[in-house]
Each structure stands twice: as structure tokens, then as C-alpha cells.
């Protein structure tokens, strides 16, 4: 694709983000990690910015990059955030029967 990359949500149908050709060049393959903001982009086509043999990870922003970036229980004292109920550490991710 020579015009960049566009990411869509299906329900409701709307564009969630885009990376123009100036940012990523022409693209041969794009793969999203589950429903996260992490994309693996492989160059290809007529004007690749990255060689075919190397991937270029991109972060669309707005979401944590990894589990270590999630706020810990109690929030950060300077952020004014309340405790985050979804973070329970690594064992929580494998135990859906555990209450949130």
C-alpha cells in the first residue's frame, strides 16, 4: 500500500487512526497486537521507508505499551488518579473467574 496505513473499528464503523506514507513509506504488511496500540509494520511496495527484512514497531498512543506501564493499585500520588480496579498483576490475566 503506497498511501500509508489506516486502522478502523468495525462496530461502530469508524477510523481509529492512520499513519501517512510520509511517516511509514509504502507498506508490505501490517499486524496489530490483539486490540492494542502496537503495530508491526514491514516495508514493501514502491517507496518503502524500512527494508523488507526489518519491522518497524509503531505505537499509536493513548494506551499503555505493556503491562509494566499500567498504573499500579492506588494510582500515582501525583496524578490524582483513584485506584485502578483492572490491574491485579500477572496472575489475574490468567484467572478470569477471579472477581475484578
Q: Are residues 37 and 79 in the same domain?
A: no
pLDDT exceeding 90 applies to what percent of the chain?
A: 0
**Tens-digit pLDDT profile for residues 41-87:** 777 777 777 665 555 555 555 444 444 444 444 444 444 444 444 44
Residue 37 lies in a domain: yes
Q: Are residues 40 and 73 in the same domain?
A: no
Torsion, Cα 64 65 67 68, to 10 degrees, reads -100
Can you list the alpha helix ranges (DSSP code H) found in the chain? 21-24, 90-93
Beta strands in the chain (DSSP E): 5-9, 14-19, 25-32, 38-48, 55-59
Q: Are residues 68 and 29 in the same domain?
A: no
Say if residue 55 is exposed, middle or buried (CB neighbours under 10 Å; 0-12, 13-18, 19+).
middle
Q: Are residues 23 and 52 in the same domain?
A: yes
The chain-wide mean pLDDT, for the chain, equals 63
Residue numbers of the domain that contains 10: 1-59
pLDDT value for 59: 54
Residue 96 lies in a domain: no
Spatial contact of 57 and 38, defined as CB atoms under 8 Å apart: yes
pLDDT value for 74: 45
pLDDT value for 80: 46
Amino acid at each position: 500500500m503506497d498511501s500509508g496505513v489506516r486502522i478502523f473499528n468495525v462496530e461502530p464503523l469508524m477510523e481509529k487512526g492512520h499513519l501517512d506514507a510520509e511517516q511509514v513509506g509504502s507498506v508490505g504488511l501490517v499486524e496489530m497486537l490483539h486490540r492494542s496500540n502496537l503495530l508491526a509494520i514491514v516495508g514493501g511496495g514502491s517507496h518503502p521507508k524500512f527494508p523488507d527484512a526489518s519491522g518497524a514497531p509503531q505505537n499509536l498512543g493513548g494506551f499503555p505499551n505493556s503491562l509494566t506501564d499500567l498504573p499500579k493499585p492506588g494510582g500515582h500520588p501525583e496524578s490524582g488518579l483513584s485506584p485502578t480496579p483492572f490491574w491485579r498483576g500477572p496472575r489475574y490475566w490468567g484467572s478470569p473467574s477471579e472477581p475484578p
